[in-house]
Each structure stands twice: as structure tokens, then as C-alpha cells.
Amino acid sequence: MKTRVFAWILVLMLALTPVLAIAEGDETEPPASSEPSASPSAEPTATPSAEPTAEPSTEPTTQPTEAPTLQPTQEPSTEPTTQPTQAPTTQPTQAPTVMPTAAPTTPEPIEEATDPLKIDTYWQYPGMDKSYAGGYMPVQKDGKVQFIMPLLGKTLGNTIRVVPEFPSDGPFAPSNLQFDVSEKAYDVTLGQSNSGRKRAYLITFGAALKSGYYNGTYTVTLHVTYKTPAGDPAEQTFNLQVQITGGKNPSSGGGGGGMSAVKKPVILVDTCTISPTEASGGDTVTFKLSLKNVGNRDAKNIRISAVPESDALTLKSDLNAQFLELLAIGGTVDATFDFTVTPGAQEGDIVVQTVVAYEDAYGGAYTEEGRYRVRITQPKVEIVSCEYNEVVGGGEDFTATLTIQNTGTRDAKDVVIRYTSEDEAIRKKGIQDSVSIGELKKGESTTVTFDLRALPSASEGRHAVDFLCTYADTKSTGTYAKTTRCELTVYQKASIGYDTVKLPENVTSGETFVLPICVYNTGFSPLYNVRGVLSVDGLICSSAYLGNINAQDSVVKDLSIFVTTLSGSSKYGGTWGNFQLYYEDENGEQQSIWQDLTCTINEPQKQTDEEKLKQEQEQKEQQTLSQWWISLLVAIAVIIILIAVILIARFARMMRMK
């Protein structure tokens, strides 16, 4: 090997000999007589550049405000009152003519008072010979007048305070009466066949008549104070009309001026006839009001209106009011209103409010109101119960059992229950999403079932399951629909997977190898504290902690394993064990899976003398080869340096000759 190195060096030196000769020859060449002169020229390169600055543009930000156009609005008040207007007005009840003005002003808003307490005009209470709708009047007996007024509503503490106010020049003896009334349950009646029990504030009190009183119609005002359910103070006034007899007539004289306060018309609803009192979709209901002027003045410009408080009733006529020019003292008049029950109207009581507005000869305005009820009878089919597993796992099937009942007062037909849930995580099994029941008579019930499934990919938490019930009445006047929502909770089971762990078939004691571990979260809920443990006799490694793994995610970890010897009497040979994965689910419960493993641990091989000698020779040759390459590189570097020196010297001589 050394011989080869010296041979290469000799070849390189022979190759450089001609180069050295050329570098040492031609020494008689004259030196350069002149040196070139440099005349540098500098050109300016800096070119100033200026970018113009954009001038700011100012746009006006104030836009002219358009003057609002104000149009006067005339809307009739829908809140009737039973208290006559104290100050007469000359304004007629017909629609006023709106005259334009040069500078209209914004009208102030009119706030309508919402009274939580209402007179129960429908039922007849203890002590009453008629209901308010039937024409109840206070009873005069034995020099005393008995007043009864039932009020409905909610108050704080279910108690109201009542202060009656009697006309100062009326027939009643002076008194300072005030009392509390609590809400209680009373037996009530309506006609001969209808009875029930009703909770109300039943105001009952008596007022004594003074001597020498005058006959006539008088108004007693009840001031009712209470607190609303929210705790706010409230006050309402209610008027009671009473016909006083057995005293002096106003024409007989006697002074006192008592009748000056009651010289007015008073129109009361004598009777209200409703036919029929129960109706269903498409039926016609007739309201007949019999009115009587019980006052001592003629009434004029009389407007009688009937307005339902629900769109379940609609007037057949285009006008919801009837007009009468005059109703003399003691005169009577009938007003009839025909209503149609809207097809598809829901079952229940519908209130119709009547308002009688009129004037006296001096333009004083008065109103009397009444509230009457008509019963709407319809089929009412609904899902009364829904039984199912309220907690299901992702991918699980479950059955919902629905109980359907007609709780209405009419038979139903074309009853269909349909699964309409928009939650994509809960699906109906099969292609049919509805069940047809057909006819369901009033009071009848039946059950239907739906087979459902929570998808494996359903997110954990609450999910909605909706069922739609549709049906029609037997007259086919309307169709009805009602949706019932059920809720359930979906949970996801923890699911884990991993690549199969494979040990080498044969390993040698004393060596180290790497075993990759890849774990997958194949479920839809997170896994916590995931770790892998290798338990094989003769193999030593630490646990592989993989931490938390989110749903549909994976983690890779390398196990470094050192091979030792077996723990038994035999140190080498076949061994077995397992690889275990431990993890926790969302409930904190620990789970585990494992895989059995086997391999063979071999004894390390001992080298013979020949193998050791051969290995030493190979090491020496490898070392010699490394030294030869180093020597060759050094020689090449020396040659390159010599060539560079020669070229530099030759270049310098050429420059001197010039």
C-alpha cells in the first residue's frame, strides 16, 4: 500500500517538471515602459424621486333632513267603559271629518289601559237572580239595596280593596263603607242545566236608603285597589246601575234636587240570546241583543257593535256595528249579529264583546259593554304520551310508543301521525315515515309505534324527536295539525384500535431494538390517559404514554426495548407475554385491551481465534486504506498549491515586461 502512494507522488512530480521549466524561462524580456493611467469618471446615480401627496378631499357629511309628513289618525277607542262622561261633549259619534291644517303637529299617543280585573258576565253567583249577561240588577228590599259584582283576575295576595262611592244627592244614606274581598270558589249556575264551580272576587254589600228619597236610576261607582302579580299598585272603577222605586217621583216636588244627577238615558242589555250555544267549524251562530232605555232621557245616535276576541268567529256582515237614531224612554230595540265559526278553529270558549254607545240630547256620550261566550266544539286529537328510551348510545335502535287520544267533543277522521324530526342524527328505520289511524271518535285513544335509530356519528347530548298529528272534523270543514316534541340523550361509547404489535421472531441478548406503537380513537368521544405497556419476559422497556386522543384521531409512539435474559433457569429460548392498552372514557372508567406476543431470545455468539485474527486484519486493512486516501488528498493539495504559485509568478513577470 505504501509503494502505491510513493508511485503516485513520483508521477505527479514528473508531470510538473515542464511547468516549472516554462515558469523559469524568458527572463530577458524588457520590462513594461509605461503604466496605464486610470481616468475614473463619476456619474451621479442618485435621482431624487418625489411622489405627490394626495390632496385630501372633504365631502359633506351632513345630509339634509327630510321633513316628516304627519297625517292625523282617527281610530275609535276599543276599550269600552260603563262610567258616563261627566262633562257633556258636542262631538257626534259618527266618524269626524279631518280638516287639514297649515302646520300639522304630531298627535300624542293614546295609551289604552289594560285592566286585569273583569266582570264575570257569564255565570250566576250566589245571591244573584240573573247573570250580568242576563240583565242582573241590584235588589231593593226592606229599605235597603243589595249589590253583587263578581270580578275575575289575578292579584298579589288574591285580595282586593273595595270602596263604594254613592251619588251625593242620591237616595242612599251617608256611609263611609270600605272592605277587603278575597278570591274564593263559588258554586255558579247558568240557566237550568249548566252549573259549575268558579273562583272569583265576589263583591257583596248593602246600602240603606234614606228617608224621602226620589225614584229613578242611579249609578254607584266601585273603586277597587289592589297590587298586580308583579307588585305594582293598581286601581279600577266599576259602575253599577240601580233602579230605585217606592219613593217620591221627580215631578212631585219636595226639593232636594236629587234627580238632577240622573237625568240621562241609560241603555241596558235586557237579554242576550245565543243560538246555538255550542257550534263547530262552518256553523252559524246568532247573537240577539234586546236593549232597553231604562233612563229618564231619550237616547240618540246609538251604535251597537259586537266584536269577537278571536278569529275563530267572523261576522257574516261587512259591518260589525248597527246604528239607531233614537231610542225613547222605556223603548226597546233588538240587534242581531250572525257569526260563522272558522273552519279549523280550535275547541274552547270564544268571547264576544258588545258595546252600546249613545248620546243624550246635549251631546253627552255614554257606553255600556257586555261580554258573552259561545262554546266551540271540535275534535282535538293529540299525542298524550310518548314512551321511549330517553338515553341511547350512538348506533343503537329504540322504539317510540305514542298514545293518541281524541280529547275533544267531536269525532275526528283522517288521523295521521308522521315523524317530522329535522335532527339528522335520529333516523326512522325503513322508508315509511307515517302511520294512518283513520277515524278516532271523541274520548277514544290508540297507540302507534315508530322504530328509530341513533346514528353512530350522532353527537353526544340532547336530540329532538318530533311527531306531527293531522286530522279533520267529520264535516270536512277544516283540518288540524299539532306537533309534539320528545327529547332524548345520545351518548357515545369509547372505542379504541391500534396497529398489530409485532416482535422480531429472534432477538439476541444484549441488543436494543425499536417497536413502533400506533393507536387510533375509532369512536366519537375522547379517550383519556392512554398508555401502552409491554409485558414480555426478557424484554425491558418503559410504558408508552400517549396522553388524550380526540375522536377520530391517532397517536404514534416508539418503544425502545432492551433484550436481556429469561428469568427462569434457562436464560435463552422462547418467551411470551402481551401488549396492553389502558385508557379512560368520559365517565372516568378505566378500560383495557391486550394482544399476546411471542419471540425467541438467542445467546450472544462467542468469536474463535481465527475469527478474531480475521477481524483484526480487516480492521488493519481498513485503517491502511483510510491512510492511503489521506496521503493522496495531501499530495493533490500540494500539487494544486505549486501550480497556483507558478501561475502567479508567471503573471507577475508578464506585467513587469509590459
Residue 39 is assigned to a structural domain of this protein: no
Same-domain check for residues 301 and 355: yes
CB atoms within 10 A of CB 158: 15
Q: Model-level pTM greater than 0.75?
A: no
Structural domains in the chain (count)? 4
Residue 612 is assigned to a structural domain of this protein: no
Same-domain check for residues 128 and 244: yes
Tell me the C-alpha distance between 202 and 534, whole Å: 86
The answer to whether the CB of 509 falls within 8 A of the CB of 601 is yes
Same-domain check for residues 452 and 564: no
Same-domain check for residues 134 and 215: yes
Strand ranges, E, within 14-123: 118-119
pLDDT of residue 273: 87
Q: Last residue of some domain: 491, 526, 544? A: 491
Residue 66 is assigned to a structural domain of this protein: no
Residue 627 is assigned to a structural domain of this protein: no
Residue 642 is assigned to a structural domain of this protein: no
pLDDT of residue 19: 47
Q: What is the mean pLDDT of each run of 10 residues along the chain (658 residues)?
A: 56 54 43 38 38 39 38 38 37 36 36 64 90 86 93 92 87 88 93 84 93 85 89 84 84 41 77 86 89 90 91 86 92 93 84 90 84 86 92 91 92 93 89 90 94 89 93 83 91 88 91 92 88 92 89 90 90 92 87 92 78 77 76 86 89 84
Same-domain check for residues 153 and 208: yes
Same-domain check for residues 119 and 239: yes
Residue 426 is assigned to a structural domain of this protein: yes
Same-domain check for residues 120 and 258: yes
Q: Last residue of some domain: 236, 263, 290? A: 263
Domain with 257 in it: what CATH number? Answer: 2.60.40
pLDDT of residue 7: 58
pLDDT of residue 420: 92
Tell me the C-alpha distance between 90 and 443, whole Å: 59
Same-domain check for residues 476 and 537: no
Residue 103 is assigned to a structural domain of this protein: no
**CB under 8 Å, gap of 24 or more: what pairs does 320-326 form?**
325/300, 325/301, 326/298, 326/299, 326/300, 326/302
Query: Which residue in 328, 262, 325 sits closest to 293, CA to CA?
Result: 328
pLDDT of residue 432: 81
pLDDT of residue 552: 86
Query: Which residue in 393, 254, 265 sits closest to 324, CA to CA?
Result: 265
Same-domain check for residues 357 and 228: no
* Helix orientation angle between 2-24 and 609-657, rounded to the nearest 10 degrees: 0
CB atoms within 10 A of CB 537: 14
Residue numbers of the domain that contains 512: 496-602
Residue 12 is assigned to a structural domain of this protein: no
The sign of the dihedral angle between the CA atoms of 165, 167, 170, 175 is: positive
Domain with 483 in it: what CATH number? Answer: 2.60.40.10
pLDDT of residue 579: 93
Q: Last residue of some domain: 446, 475, 491? A: 491
pLDDT of residue 44: 38
Same-domain check for residues 415 and 501: no
Same-domain check for residues 120 and 246: yes
Same-domain check for residues 134 and 189: yes
